[in-house]
Amino acid sequence: MNNDSIYAPHSAFEDAPEPPGDIAAEPTENFAEMLSQFERSHSHKAEPGTRQLQGTVVSKSADQVFLDIGYKTEGVLPRAVFDNSADAVEVGQSFPVSVTGRNEEGYYELSRFKVAQVRDWTAIEEAFAQKLAVVGTVTGLVKGGVNVDIGVRAFMPASRSGTRDAAELEKLVDTEITCRITKLDVTDENVVVDRRVVLEEQARSLQEGRYTEMKAGDTLSGTVRSLTPYGAFVDLGGIDGLLHVSDISWGRVEKPEDVLTVGQEIQVRLLKIDPDTKKISLGLKQLQPEPWEASAGRYQAGQRVTGTVTRLADFGAFVEIEPGIEGLIHISEMAWGKKVRHPSDILKPGEKVEAVILSVKPEERRISLGLKQSLADPWLDISKKFPVGSQIEGPVTKLMNFGAFVQIAENIEGLVHVSEISADKRINHPQDVLRVGQPVKAQVLAIDEEKRQIKLSIKQLIPTSIDEYIAEHKQGDLVSGRVVEESASDATIELGQGIRATCRILVSATPAQQPATSSKVDLSSLSSMLKDRWKGNAPAVSATPEPLRADQIRSFKIVTLDPEAKKIAVELA
């Protein structure tokens, strides 16, 4: 029965003219009876000992269910206290409810908990024994809490009031609350009540209702309650869900506070509810298109792209080429020439780089990138730039047991083997004579373009005694030398210490032509003679050349000087 139907008869009687005589008494008695019935049916007093009422559903809104509880004003229940968010609740259905207070809009706030209405000590003892909630009015502040009138005076500690501070506690004065009796001493009339335990039970009931109404895949509204290094906790209306940092954006998010703020209202996707722990996992990026699906066919092998280095690993660097799409530059694809020990030697997080797509695997969400492919291959014309025999100069980049690496151009290194470092002494380890960063000169000995290797020599550029000899002489000079060994066609001639030449034999000598000399040679006189005659002051020789034989000292004419090959050829003078 609504208010209009109640007051309509009253208005009719009030406006109608008073009938004469006894006729006027009948409608007056009828009105009094009707008013009495209305007061009885709409009395605010519940049955003795209880405040449980029967509510009838009259309508539903997006958040609440409205029930007729027999009062002038309707009562409301949150939809969450019903199964499936009250989707199955229909107008006309009845539910047992209890009044717990009134909201700002004037509606009675209801609870599906049984709430006792105590009026005497017997009812208080019964409510205490059954752990029933009771309704009371906060009458004033006292030390440590407040006094509550629940039919008798009771004390509620501030810690059990459900408030956070003194200001909130003070606001409870003169308001009606629902609480539970936690201590009762009838003899001393000592009663202690607890509002917080009732609020917690109601919150758990609300949570259970929320849990049952939510399912994976739902889009929910929430408020960011707190931020942590691993994500954000979002208030979904009484219960919290975790929005992990990896589910905030398709792009990489280092810190949640870079994207979210406390108090921010957001839409999230419910990813999972753990049935045992009731933990809720949320996602924000899931409300946006998945980048790999949106970029289908956009990237192909050979394509140049620009991106930002997001993180480094021992095996390579990850580069974000658009939010949600990362490619990997493997460490082997970072430089053409030198071997990269760690990606940090070349790249750093946050750096923008240009790379070439080597391969795309959309089904695996993977893109392989090459950094060196974005640069010209320096090995393409290496033989033209550094032909064999040419001289290079560069710093020592690395020392190994077997040799030293020398940088001869950007991303190009050559190896000086330990045997090619010095011509004068044996080197056990390159570090005995070289250091990293030291500039050196070397000669190119060989180039292997397929293996991308260059062999260098330092000792080839260090002047030797034969270099000095060649520099001091010219073709046609007459010199003295000792026959070291001979054969039918040529002989080896020693022109000085460590300096040897080849002499071609044109005429074979006969035994009769050989001078009778002792087979023994005075080495001291030989050394003295060589000193006098190596400068071209050879004594005159006989017109008929004497045949060559071992240990013989003769005069020769230089016919060939090859400084590159370090070779000398002579003939008999």
Q: How far apart are CA 262 and CA 251, in angstroms?
A: 21
DSSP 103: -
pLDDT of residue 3: 38
Q: How confident is the model at residue 116 (pLDDT cuts 50, 70, 90)?
A: low
Write 543-548 long-range contacts (CB < 8 A, 24+).
544/513, 545/507, 545/509, 545/572, 546/509, 546/513, 546/514, 546/515, 547/507, 547/508, 547/509, 547/510, 547/513, 547/514, 548/483, 548/486, 548/491, 548/503, 548/505, 548/509, 548/572
Q: Could you give the CA distance from residue 177 to residue 164 in angstroms, rounded to a whole number?
A: 16
**Each residue of 381-392: b (16+ CB within 10 Å) or e?**
ebeeebeeeeeb
Residues 295, 305 contacting (CB under 8 angstroms): no
pLDDT digits (tens, 9 = 90+) for 465-512: 788 888 889 999 999 999 998 888 889 999 887 788 999 887 554 444
Evaluate if residue 368 carries a pLDDT over 90.
yes
pLDDT digits 0-9 by tens, 311-367: 899 999 999 988 888 899 999 888 876 678 899 988 999 899 999 999 988 888 889
* Residue that the structure tokens 């004390």 belong to: 155
Q: Please check the confidence at residue 536 and state whether its pLDDT lies above 80.
A: no
Indicate if the pLDDT at residue 5 is higher than 80: no
Residue 295 — very low, low, confident or very high, per pLDDT cuts 50/70/90? confident
Q: Kindly report the CATH class assigned to 52-111.
A: mainly beta
- Tell me what pLDDT residue 49 has: 38
Assess whether pLDDT exceeds 70 at residue 562: yes
Question: Percent of the chain scored above 70 by pLDDT?
Answer: 82
Closest CA to 131 of 201, 77, 70, 69: 201
d(CA 182, CA 150): 13
Domain residue spans of the chain: 3-40, 52-111, 214-287, 294-374, 382-461, 465-572
Instruction: Summarize pLDDT for 241-254 with one digit per residue, the tens.
Output: 999 998 998 888 88
Q: Alpha-carbon distance 164 to 173, whole Å?
A: 15
Dihedral in degrees, nearest 10, Cα atoms 8, 12, 13, 18: 180
Yes or no: say if 323 and 259 are a contact pair by the CB < 8 Å rule.
no
pLDDT in tens, 190-202: 999 999 998 888 7
Model pLDDT for residues 152-182, shown as the tens digit of each residue:
899 999 999 988 899 999 999 988 888 999 9
CB under 8 Å to 429, separation ≥6 — which residues? 399, 401, 418
Mean pLDDT of the chain: 80
Averaged pLDDT for residues 303-317: 91
Report pLDDT for 357.
92
Query: Is the predicted pLDDT of residue 515 greater than 80, yes or no?
Result: no
Closest among 194, 181, 50, 177 to 116, alpha carbons compared: 50
Amino acid 248 reads: I
3-state secondary structure of 249: coil
Q: How far apart are CA 190 and CA 183, in angstroms?
A: 8
Q: Distance (Å, rounded) from C-alpha 419 to C-alpha 434?
A: 13
Gap between the Cα atoms of 570 and 565, Å rounded: 15
Span 298-323, mean pLDDT? 90
Q: Does position 28 have pLDDT exceeding 70, yes or no? A: no
What six digits make up the tokens of 55? 């509510």
Residue 206 has pLDDT above 80, yes or no: no
Across the range 39-57, mean pLDDT stands at 56
Quick one: pLDDT at residue 408? 87
Please give the structure tokens belonging to residue 387: 């032909």
Q: Give me the amino acid identity at 416.
A: V
Tokens of 168: 């909130």
Say how far apart CA 91 and CA 572 lie, in whole Å.
133
Topology of domain 382-461, per CATH?
A: OB fold (Dihydrolipoamide Acetyltransferase, E2P) (2.40.50)
- Model confidence band, residue 207 (pLDDT cutoffs 50, 70, 90): confident
Q: Find the DSSP H helices in 46-145.
A: 121-129
In the predicted structure, residue 516 carries a pLDDT above the cut 90: no
Tell me, what's the pLDDT at 545?
Answer: 65
CATH (residue range 214-287) = 2.40.50.140
Spacing of C-alpha 121 from chain mean position: 66
> Residue 157: how many CA atoms within 13 Å on its side-chain side?
9
Same fold, 294-374 and 465-572: yes
Q: What is the mean pLDDT of residues 398-420?
A: 90
Gap between the Cα atoms of 52 and 72, Å rounded? 17
Question: pLDDT tens digits, residue range 423-445?
Answer: 767 888 999 999 999 999 999 99
- pLDDT above 60 (res 42): no
What number of other Cβ atoms are within 10 A of residue 324's Cβ? 19
Question: Which of the four CATH numbers 3.90.1150.10, 3.40.50.720, 3.50.50.60, 2.40.50.140 does domain 294-374 have?
Answer: 2.40.50.140
Q: What is the pLDDT of residues 260-284, one digit of tens each?
A: 999 999 999 999 988 778 889 999 9
Q: What pLDDT is attached to residue 213?
A: 72
Q: Which of 55-64, 96-105, 551-560 has the lowest mean pLDDT?
A: 96-105
pLDDT of residue 19: 40
Tokens standing for residue 438: 């030291």
Give burial (CB, 10 Å; 0-12/13-18/19+) of 160: buried
pLDDT band for 529, please (50, 70, 90 cuts): low
Percentage of the chain beyond pLDDT 90 is: 32
Domain 465-572: CATH architecture, name and number where available: Beta Barrel (2.40)
